[in-house]
Structure 1
Amino acid sequence: MAPQFSLAHLTVLHSTPPEMVSIAARTGYRWVGLRVTAVTPDEPIYPLMRDRAMMKETLARMADTGVGVLDIELARMDAATEPEAYLPLLEVTAELGSQDIIAQLPDADRERATERFARLCDLAKPFGIHVNLEFVSWTQTPDVASSVAVLSAVNRSNAGLLVDTLHFSRSGCRLEELKNLPKEWFRVAQLCDAPAQAPATVEGLIHAARNDRKLLGEGGLAVRDIVEAMPATTRYSLEIPNLTLEGVIGAEEFSRRAIRTAESYLQGVHEAALMSYSMV
C-alpha cells in the first residue's frame, strides 16, 4: 500500500483552510494540517476558533471532498505561555475531527517546560487528542534527546514525538536515537529536503526553514533513512515551504509537485517498512 500524505499549512501558508482542503483534494492528499495560531507577527493567521464563517466553510469542503485534518498547530509554550491558553485550539481540533496537535517548548527552564507539557497533555486527554512534541534546532528543545527527556518525564499516554526531517538533520540527531523509542510515540512526521550544508547562523536556519525547503530528492538530507527509522504506521505531512517556486507556479501546482515527488522518492520504502512492521 502506497503511503498517504498530508499537506502542511506552512507549505502553502497564504492559502486559507477552505482553500487548502480544496487544493489537497485536487492534488491527491488524504489530509491537511492547519495552522490556527500565528508563529510570527507578520504571517497570516486563520483563527478558526473565532472565525465561524471560515470554520463552517472548512467543514463543508471537508464533507464534500473527504479530505480530513491530520493535525492542528501550533501550541508553542515559551516562558510566558501557559497551556490553558490553548484550550480554544483543542476545541477547534476536536470540532475538525482531528486527534493530533503539534506543540513546541522554546523555554530554557526545563522543569517548567516539562510541567507545562504534562498539563497540556492532561487538557487534551478529554478531547481524545494526542500532543506531538516537535523539536526545533534553534530552540531550547532542539533535538531528539531533549524531547525524549520531556516525554519520559511526563509519561502521558497521549504524548508523542514529531520528527521534522529538516530539524532532525540540522540538530545533528542520529538515526539510532529513533529506533528504540516506543512505536506509539510516532503518529505524525514532517518531511522535506534541504541542502546538506546547514546555514551558518540562526537567522539563516529560520529563513531556510520557513521559506526555502526543497522537494524530496532535490536536496542532500537522508530523508529515506529517517523514514525507515520510524514505525511504518507514522503518517507523513509534507512541510515544504518554498516561496520562490510557489510564487512562480502557484500554491496548487506546487502542492501537486510536492506530493508527486514524495510518492516517487519514497517508492518502495513505505511498503518495505510495512512488511517489516507486520512481522514484529
Structure 2
Amino acid sequence: MADVPGPLSAFVVGEIRRARGASGMTQEAFGRAAGFSASHVSAVEGTTRALTIDFIKGADRALHNGGLFERLATKFGAPSWFLPWLDAEREATQLRYFEPTLIPGLLQVEHYARTVLRTVENLTDDEVEQRVEGRMSRQAILTGERRPQFVAVLDEAAIRRTGDGLGGIMAEQVAHLITMAELPHVHVHVIPIASGLHIGLSGPFALARSGEGVWVGHLENQLGGDVVDKDDEVATLQARWESVRNEALPRRQSIDLLKEVESHHGPQ
C-alpha cells in the first residue's frame, strides 16, 4: 500500500497476522477465505510483498471483522477512494500524469506537499503529517530497482504560482523538478501559458500501464476520485493525454523553462 507510511503498513500486517493466528487459521485457510494463495499470504506477512487494499479487504472478509483493517488504513494512510489507484501506480511499468494547477504528488518536495495538504480544512495537523509522510514514501517507486517510465505534463501556471511565503517553497520545488527531469526515466514537459486554452484545463488525470499491458486511469475531483478501467473511458483519457502532450514543450525546452522560473522564485 504505497501511500501508507511504512510503520503503519507494518502495523497493519502485524495485526492481520495476529488476528489470523488467534482465529486458528493457517496461511492456506486464510488465503482461501481472503482470495489469495498461501504463498502470497506468507510473502505479505513476511514483508517481502507489498500490502495492498485488495489484500486488506480480503483479510477483513476472512476474519469477519466488519472492515476494521480497511478503516484503519484509510484513517491513517490514504482515502479509501485513492487506494486502488496506488496499487496500480506501484505495479505500473509506465505512468503518465497531467496536472494543470499543482505539481504531481510523485514529484512534490515535503514543504510543498505539506502546504498543499494544509489547504484541506478538515485535516488535523497529525493527519497532514501522516499524509505527507505517505506521499514521500510513495515516491520510492521512482528511485527503486524497478522504475517505471514516468512522464508528467504540467501547465506553466503550476510552476509560477506565488503568494505569501510561497516563494522559497516554490524555488525548492522547481529545483527538485529540474533534478528529477534530468533522470533518464523521468520526463517533465511544460505547457506554456502562451498556449492559451486547451482540453487539459478541464482537470487533472493520470494513466498507468501494468506489466501485462493493461492501462487504467485515475480522475480526482473536489469530493474524491475514481479509477477508470472501462475501455472507452481509458481511450478517452489516452486521447486527452495526446492532446496535452502535444501542447507541451519538448523535454529539454521544458527543463530550460523550469530553470528560468527557478531563477525568479525566492523567499518573500
TM-score over 0.5 for the alignment? no
Instruction: State the TM-score, normalized to the length of structure 1.
Output: 0.30
Instruction: State the TM-score, normalized to the length of structure 2.
Output: 0.31
More helix, by proportion: 2
Larger radius of gyration: 2
